[in-house]
A and B are shown apart, each in its own frame.
Chain A
Amino acid sequence: MTDIEAIGHQLADLVKRYSADYIEARLEQSQKSSITYRGRELESIGQTTAIGGNIRALLRGGWGFVSFNNLEGLPDKVELAVKQAKLVGREESKLAPVEPIVDTISTPHNPTTKSLAEKKQLLDEYNEIIWRTPKLQTSVIAYSDSHKRVIFLSSAGSYIVQERSDINLRLSAVAAEDGEVQQAGLSVGSAGDFKAISSLHQPVAEMARHAVELLSAPQVKGGEYTVVLDPVLAGVFAHEAFGHLSESDLVYENERLRQIMVLGKQFGSKELNIIDSAAVPGLRGSYKYDDEGVPATKTYLIREGKLVGRLHSRETAARMMEKPTGNARAINYRYPPIVRMTNTYIEPGEASFDDIIADIKEGVYAKNWFGGTTAMEMFTFSAGEAYMIRNGKVAEALRPVVLSGNVFTTLNNIDAIGNDLEMNQGGGCGKGMQMPLPVSNGSPHIRILKCLVGGR
């Protein structure tokens, strides 16, 4: 096995010798394993190892970036990155200052060292439970885990060795009857702790039952409703609808968007607080330093309904004259770091779930995550489960619903926030071809007035 530590020290010396405004490098060594089931059978099982690195150079505001698996000929690679930066650079380089850091961070979990037999045993149990449900057509279980060791070093003298682990498990059940096909899913994960995914027998059984239930469920009539989101879906809303707008790389060179996203602007009620924090330990989006070597922080994006912060890389922070937040992340060594979320959540309020639905005559209770995308002001997200709310009670199950709206009006239309914060560790986030990045999001139950629900 190649020793990236030795190469790291060589590179640390090398990057100081070139004339650029700033040079940094990352070296990465990773192991992954994955197991998937389709239907009753195991479909594939595999193990992957990777080694690689990159060099990023900044010169007169322009970036060059070179990535590689082949760790030979490093001086040529540094030279190429500098040459590319020179072709791009036409202004002054700006980077928010950070202290050089030398540190080593290890993770308590390495799921890739657990035996394949043990992983398979657990997944067999879940598959068994799924297939005890009648009317099932097929099912999918996709498990993956990873462990990586990353060396970050810069011409300013930083040298950080950081380990990270991740586990991601998606399950879905597909039911069919008379040409109708319906599915239900479950998505969970952890920062490498296998225990976090090893006692899901109950939720897995419920998921399979729900897929079958949907076969006889009606489709909601399209239109505007009062909608209650469960913690999972509200977390997706916080991430998709609002979180992406807080990523400064979208904002800093866009004068009009800067005017919309002016700090201090009121976006919601006094009860609304939205936070992004990689500094909370133990979640899938947690870390000590980001991929530019900046320490993680807890950032209030919305406090008491007002826009008070946003997420930054060193460059966006400098250009907007704000403080860096440590949110520059890269999915792996093949990509430069870009501004990303980490653990994003709505802070809990006072209301119980019963309070929230009590005075709804006709509404929709949307639960569970299926997916979500956003295009600035517009978002759509889909619920894996949905029910009508009638006269203050959760009523009949509905086919999965897609919710859509304008983020500015929707935030303003949140009129109740529950007291039951939960963090969802499933899924992953995609941006600029870099996906899935481990993140988590969360919320208590929330209520949104006048939300557009798609139906037939």
Chain B
Amino acid sequence: MEDILAQAKRVAEEAEVFMVSSEETPVQFEANRLKRIQGKQSTNVALRIIREGRIGYASTTDLGDTLRLVNSAAETAQFGIQARFKLPQKTTYPQIDVFDPDTESIPIEKMIELGEGLIALITRHTPDIICEAMVSKDIISLRLMNSGGGEASYRKSIFSLSMWGSLIRGTDMLFVGESQSSCHPLTTPHEVAEVVIQQLELAKNRASVPSGHLPVVFTPRGVVSAIIPSLMMAFNGKIVLQGASPIGNKLGEQVFDQKLSLWDDPTIAYRPTSRPCDDEGVPSQRTPLIEGGAVASFLYDLQTAALAHTRSTGNGNRSGGLPTPSPTTLTIAPGKTTFDEMVGDIKEGLVIEQLMGAEQGNILGGDFSGNVLLGFKIESGKIVGRVKDTMVSGNVYQVLKEVAAIGSKPEWVGGFILTPPIYCSRLSVASK
């Protein structure tokens, strides 16, 4: 890395080298059986330079070819955008624990056992279900250094357990599933199994809903599939800067229900999306996005922040290219109402666990519209069965302007967001 930086400094005013190495071990199960074990080693080096004021970028997995990397970055800098930021200097970072040696040392045999244990629990409940499962560990080393003396490095461990089950009877198909991940190893399959078994229990009976407007309770997984994609675009500093975010000019304004608070916080220990600093070397911080219904701030990386005349929030993220603002570990503050109280309050309505295709509509404008992949009918305060051939549509800004209640029990969904259920009083439902 030092070599690349030295070579780059010869052709550019500023330079930054970012290197990620990962050793990933996914153990995969198909059709209720162990199917495949993988071992994946990868290393990627990215070089960002500022040359004659413009940004150049190149990356490679071929560590033997650093000259080509430097030349390639220099070539792109001819056309690159004006750099408006300075690379961070040497600084101290908060101590955020994201590495657990127990994850690194967990043997493959133990991972196989965990997957088999999970499938055994599910098939004991529903013998004719077909499960796919994955147990995976990933050890990531990250290092960055820049010409301004900035330097950061840390290691992260990620352990995850996921399963998807399908139950087919005639031409009727039911899909269930859950995925959990953490920097710690999961030691038992019970938590994942519990979620899936609950889904299977509720789906035992069938029910149908009429087309029209109905109250809807989104479970934590339902919140993530319907509501979060739109919000994440709206709070992205880059979209705000372009004027394309519907809330971009509403900083401080009461746009959402006052019961609603949301923040981004990569300093929460042992979450897979947490870290001491972002991918540009900016220290991690907690950033409030919605505070009591008011728009509190947006997410920024260095360049976007400079263009917007503000400071980076430490949300510069790289996924195979230049850094761009993106959320890390999210939390929606819990409310006071239990899930059972929400359901008990509804005469006729829906519980939505999974909405399929919700992100395909005009999510920039906040619209979501999707098929209820997994959802349940509420009748007189009780869940009576699973609904099919039903579509739900709405607009995040209309739906969240006034929510009936926010749940008291938050859950981690997919390892990166902690959210309670959300109860909305009126949503458009179309069904066959």
Q: A residues touching B (Cβ–Cβ < 8 Å)?
A: 1-2, 34-35, 38-39, 41-52, 62-70, 80-81, 84-85, 87-88, 90, 116-117, 120, 137-138, 174, 176, 179-183, 222-224, 249, 253-254, 256-257, 260, 334, 336, 370-373, 375-382, 399-400, 402, 404-406, 408, 452-456
Contact = CB atoms under 8 A, between A and B. Distances in A.
Contacts of A63: 35-37
Contacts, number: 251
A39 B79 CA distance: 16
Interface string B350-369: 00000011011110110001
B60 A48 contact: yes
Pick from B35, B37, B40, B394 the residue with the most CB of A within 10 Å.
B37
A456 B428 contact: yes
Interface of B: 30-31, 33-44, 55-65, 68-69, 72-73, 75-76, 78-81, 108-109, 112, 128, 130, 166, 168-169, 171-173, 175, 211, 238, 242-244, 246, 320-322, 356-357, 359-362, 364-365, 369-371, 373, 388-389, 391-394, 428-432
A381 B371 CA distance: 10
Contacts of A52: 42, 61
22 contacts: A38-B242, A46-B57, A50-B62, A51-B60, A65-B38, A66-B41, A68-B41, A70-B41, A90-B34, A116-B76, A137-B243, A181-B362, A222-B430, A371-B357, A373-B356, A375-B356, A400-B362, A402-B361, A402-B391, A404-B371, A404-B389, A453-B430
Nearest to B65: A1
A454 to B, nearest CB: 4
B65 A176 contact: no
A376 B38 contact: no
Overall SS of chain A's interface:
strand
B60 A50 contact: yes
Contacts of A222: 211, 391, 393, 428-430
B356 A46 contact: no
Given A47-B76, A116-B75, A222-B391, 19 more contacts: A34-B321, A45-B76, A46-B76, A49-B58, A49-B59, A68-B42, A69-B62, A116-B76, A174-B244, A181-B244, A182-B365, A256-B168, A370-B360, A371-B357, A373-B356, A379-B371, A381-B357, A402-B357, A404-B357
A322 B244 CA distance: 52
Given A64-B36, A402-B369, A454-B430, A44 B30 contact: no
Contacts of A44: 55, 57, 80-81, 321-322
Contact of B166 (A64, A81, A137, A376): A376
B253 to A, nearest CB: 12
A260 B130 contact: no
Nearest to A52: B61
Contacts of A405: 389
Nearest to B238: A38
Contacts of B58: 46-49
A2 to B, nearest CB: 6
List of 7 A-B pairs having minimum Cβ-Cβ separation, nearest first? A380-B357, A253-B31, A222-B430, A256-B168, A84-B37, A371-B360, A46-B57
Given A48-B59, A48-B60, A452-B432, A254 B38 contact: no
A382 B357 contact: yes
A437 to B, nearest CB: 16
B42 A69 contact: yes
Nearest to B242: A138
Contacts of A67: 38-42
A448 to B, nearest CB: 14
Contact of A88 (B36, B65, B68): B36
A117 B112 CA distance: 52
